[in-house]
Structure 1
Amino acid sequence: MAENWRHFLLPYQQAVDELKIKLRGMRKQFQDLNQHAPIEFVTGRVKPVDSIKEKMVRRHIQRDRLEQDMQDIAGLRIMCQFVEDIYQVVDLLRQRSDMTILEERDYITNAKPSGYRSYHIVIEYPVQLVSGEKKLLTEIQVRTLSMNFWATIEHSLNYKYQGDFPNDLSVRLQRAGEAAFKLDNEMSEIREEIQEAQNLFSYGKSNSWSDQENQDHEQADDRGQPGQD
């Protein structure tokens, strides 16, 4: 069975690897044009087998319907500095011809009751295999750094409490989510000042140093588990 799972997940890993290269390439294109890059960094993962099995039980997904009914086996996460960057990234993805957007869920303007905010996009992405083309569902999450901090903490707590949070903890998480979003709004208010300062700071700094910093972020987060069921 382990061999079967490895074979099943191999195309998903290929999709994640290809998409990470393409999305990180978008960032480099903005940098090459000396423009603000709406993408701060990109991470991705293939859902672990244990998580797939758990979700199959929880969502009543049959094995023969796995490819059609589980949208986040392959998951990408795009991190942005500003809320406005999120919607710019979404527009850029809509214009691409190498993927088809099937579904969009805006949890930024319509936050979940828990306080969770992010922009989710489900795409159909074709990978080229030796047996021919295979189209896979892939979920892309676009969020700010503060949204990601909140979601990472909430995800960890969810493992501890299995989704059944004590009431006082739920209230605190909701407040923290609102505080994180308020921070994003404050940063948007002074966005031009921030970008000007960043341009001055990075002037004369080698691109290799900046690229290495983002690579460190990406490698660290690739070991995590993007996805919010």
Structure 2
Amino acid sequence: MDYREWEQVLSPYKQAVEELKVKLKGIRSQFELEGEHSPIEFVTGRVKPVVSILDKARRKNISKESIEREIQDIAGLRIMCQFVEDIHRVLEMLRKRDDFTIIEERDYINHQKDSGYRSYHIVVEYPVQTFKGLKKILVEIQIRTLAMNFWATIEHSLNYKYSGNIPEDIKDRLQRAAEAAYRLDEEMSQIRGEIQEAQVIFSRKIES
């Protein structure tokens, strides 16, 4: 496919990402209006670049005709949370929504990857209204704490630098860093109430 054809294929994915970002950010706004702690800290989203899509298809031996069906993260969103407990609250809310269908869940928090990667992934089927009619788009939503996200961002950069072959000494350091991030999340959970109370007081001070 040429550039124009790829633009046509990816257009509904871009629409899905933008619509879901608005909806998920709206959840945070609703909590703030109620004066309650929002389990969503912030939301980001992107559509995979064409070169990344083709590279993944090549690595996984996926034909071009099957790309939209077999690559689940062409459209991706990340929901960042302050606490691990917030991840579970977000999951409960997403499971109750009726504007998309969850078709797969992968728990890398209780079952972290060997590298130390931790996050919760869900794949949803999201309906997009196009001028040609309804198109159902696969979207991967990753839910993680800020500590998990910091680690994953660094690990992703190193994977890119070393083309997936990270030296053993750096792998060891990454695994230790993952354990440290896990302990940080645990400690923050222990004083969650104090943190949330302090944030409410601080926000009221700013508003007054």
C-alpha separation in 1, matches of 2:207 and 2:42: 18
Structure 2 partner of 1:72: 73
In structure 1, the residue matched to 2:123 is 122
Counterpart-to-counterpart distance in 2, 1:205 and 1:65: 52
What's the counterpart of residue 168 of structure 1? 169
**AA matched with 2:23:** K
Instruction: Quote the Cα distance in structure 2 between the aligned partners of 1:111 and 1:104.
Output: 14
Deviations 1:177-197 (A, max 9, x none): 010010000000000000011
Spell out structure 1 runs of 4+ moving beyond 3 A: none
* TM-score after normalising by structure 1: 0.89
Residue-by-residue CA offset, 1:53-96 (whole Å, 9 max, x unaligned): 11010011111111110000000000000000001101100000
1:105-144 matched pairs, under 5 angstroms: 105-144=106-145
- Structure 1 distance, partners of 2:191, 2:30, is 25
1:45-194 superposed matches below 5 A: 45-194=46-195
Q: 1:175-220 deviations in whole A, cap 9, x for unaligned? A: 000100100000000000000111111114249xxxxxxxxxxxxx
The root-mean-square deviation of aligned C-alpha atoms, in Å, is 1.0
| Residue 172 of structure 2 corresponds to residue 200 of structure 1 | no
Q: What is the CA–CA distance in structure 2 between the aligned matches of 1:149 and 1:105, rounded to whole Å?
A: 20
| Residue type of the alignment partner of 2:169 | D
Q: SS at 1:9's partner residue?
A: helix
Which fold has the larger relative contact order, with Cα–Cα distance below 8 Å and residues 6 or more apart in sequence? 1
Cα separation, 1, equivalents of 2:62 and 2:11: 20
2:159 and 2:123 map into 1 onto residues whose CA distance is 23
| TM-superposed deviation, 1:172 | 0.6
Q: 1-side partners of 2:169 and 2:33: how far apart?
A: 48
How much does 1:107 deviate? 0.4
Per-residue CA distance 1:156-176 (angstroms, 9 max, x = gap): 000111111111111110000
Match of 2:26 in 1: 25
Deviation track 1:73-128 (CA, whole Å, cap 9, x = no partner) reads 00000000000000110110000000100000010111100000000000000000
Distance in 2 between the 1:86 and 1:162 partners?
Answer: 31
Amino acid at match of 2:145: T
In the alignment, the residues of structure 2 paired with residue 205 and residue 5 of structure 1 have an alpha-carbon distance, to the nearest angstrom, of 46
TM-score, length-scaled by structure 2 = 0.98
SS at match of 2:180: helix
